Amino acid sequence: MFELRVLTGLHRGAALPLSGASWRIGSSDESDMVLYDPGISAKHCLLERQDSGWTLYADEGPLSDSEGHQIEHQLALQAGTPFALGHLWLCVVDAALPWQEETPSELPDEDVLPPPETSHHDPVPTLSGPKATKKAALPWWAKCSYLLLGVLLFLMVGSWMLQESAAMPSAPPPQDTRMPISTLPQLNSMLQTMLRERDLLSEIDTHQENNHVVLSGNIRPAMQKRLERMLMQFHQRYNTTLQIEDHTTVKLEKLPFRIIQVTRGPQANIVTSDGRRIFVGDEVNNLRLVSIDDHLIEFRGRQQIKVNW
């Protein structure tokens, strides 16, 4: 399981579990990860899961890779490699990794500076005699020359490394700033508040079991999408070790059988395609036939369905 972590900005420490195939990032409330930092567009970019990693697609805002280079269209990502939306840093990492062990971004590759050349005027020690059996000892001025050259080389390399590190600062160490929730009553109360804000509380029940809260109810497909978006935003804002289990089901939009014959009158009934005859008051598949009139057949039960005929 991977998650998208916010490393800087107003939402520093927020994380989005990456369950699914694509996630919209921006300042719009319809985004999967909502960021209100200055410079973040309503539909800033789109993150998609690929077979070999992730791909970030630019939409309304600027993107930069881990070296600070601006990306115009799309950017291939690997786990642990930070990227930037304007001046805001984010990173895709394994959700099991602690925040303090985040891998810092690598420095940009540059050509290695060549070592300074030795002046042609520097004296070079030589061996005296064509058949000398011992190397002649270096004079003190030659030793001083080599020592000065070593110090000069060390200072040049150190200056180059400082310039490279100052050119593009590495991603700051992540810090989890989400609000903690440690008890079941707190978790249950917060979920009910978020459901009420989205007009879902009348359709979805919450109850506590052991160390988790269970969501249950039979809801329409549009409500199911609203609930999924709510749970993603919950994990961005709050940090908890307690579990949330979604046991909601989606309402059927049609009858689980096909009607081939309708009879009205005192013994009003219908006949299904599999040969069953259902009278008013009978119940099939948790649906009760309640009425048959000149134009409408009505069923009630786990949901209310009206069929024109």
Is residue 134 domain-resident?
no
- Domain stops at, among 60, 81, 101: 101
Contact in structure between 64 and 70 (CB atoms under 8 Å): yes
Checking if the pLDDT of 165 tops 70, the result is: no
Is residue 124 domain-resident?
no
What span, in angstroms and rounded, lies between the C-alpha atoms of 18 and 15? 9
Is residue 27 domain-resident?
yes
| DSSP one-letter code for 210 | T
295 and 269 in one domain? Answer: yes
Q: What is the average pLDDT across 196-205?
A: 92
What span, in angstroms and rounded, lies between the C-alpha atoms of 302 and 196? 22
264 and 245 in one domain? Answer: no
Quote the pTM value.
Answer: 0.38
CB-count burial class (<10 Å; 0-12, 13-18, 19+) for 215: buried
Reported as a pLDDT band with limits 50, 70 and 90, residue 286 is confident
Q: What is the pLDDT of residue 96?
A: 87
Domain range enclosing 264: 259-308
7 and 80 in one domain? Answer: yes
Is residue 172 domain-resident?
no
Closest CA to 228 of 21, 39, 77, 87: 21
271 and 236 in one domain? Answer: no
Contact in structure between 299 and 281 (CB atoms under 8 Å): no
- Domain stops at, among 203, 226, 250: 250
Q: What is the average pLDDT across 33-56?
A: 92
CATH number, domain with residue 232 = 3.30.70.1770
97 and 7 in one domain? Answer: yes
220 and 275 in one domain? Answer: no
Contact in structure between 297 and 286 (CB atoms under 8 Å): no
| pLDDT tens digits, one per residue of 169-200 | 666 777 778 899 999 999 999 999 999 999 99
| pLDDT tens digits, one per residue of 57-85 | 999 999 999 998 999 889 999 999 999 99
Q: Which residues are 94's β-sheet partners?
A: 2
Q: What is the pLDDT of residue 123?
A: 47
What span, in angstroms and rounded, lies between the C-alpha atoms of 178 and 66? 25
Q: How many domains does the chain have?
A: 3
Pick the residue with more confidence: 217 or 254?
217
- Domain stops at, among 70, 101, 132: 101
| pLDDT tens digits, one per residue of 220-255 | 888 899 999 999 999 999 999 999 999 998 876 678
96 and 7 in one domain? Answer: yes
282 and 216 in one domain? Answer: no
301 and 241 in one domain? Answer: no
Average pLDDT, the chain: 83
Which contacts of 52-59 are long-range, i.e. CB under 8 A and separated by 24 or more positions? 52/76, 53/77, 53/78, 53/79, 54/78, 54/92, 56/83, 59/26
Q: Which residues are 70's β-sheet partners?
A: 64
Contact in structure between 287 and 297 (CB atoms under 8 Å): no
Is residue 198 domain-resident?
yes
79 and 8 in one domain? Answer: yes
Is residue 112 domain-resident?
no
**Collapsed DSSP state (helix, strand, coil) of residue 292:** strand
Distance of CA 182 to the CA centre of its chain: 23
Is residue 8 domain-resident?
yes
Q: What is the pLDDT of residue 141?
A: 74
What span, in angstroms and rounded, lies between the C-alpha atoms of 192 and 174? 30
**Collapsed DSSP state (helix, strand, coil) of residue 24:** strand
Is residue 153 domain-resident?
no
**Collapsed DSSP state (helix, strand, coil) of residue 108:** coil
Distance of CA 296 to the CA centre of its chain: 48
24 and 70 in one domain? Answer: yes
CATH number, domain with residue 21 = 2.60.200.20
292 and 244 in one domain? Answer: no
What span, in angstroms and rounded, lies between the C-alpha atoms of 81 and 5? 11
Q: What is the pLDDT of residue 126?
A: 43
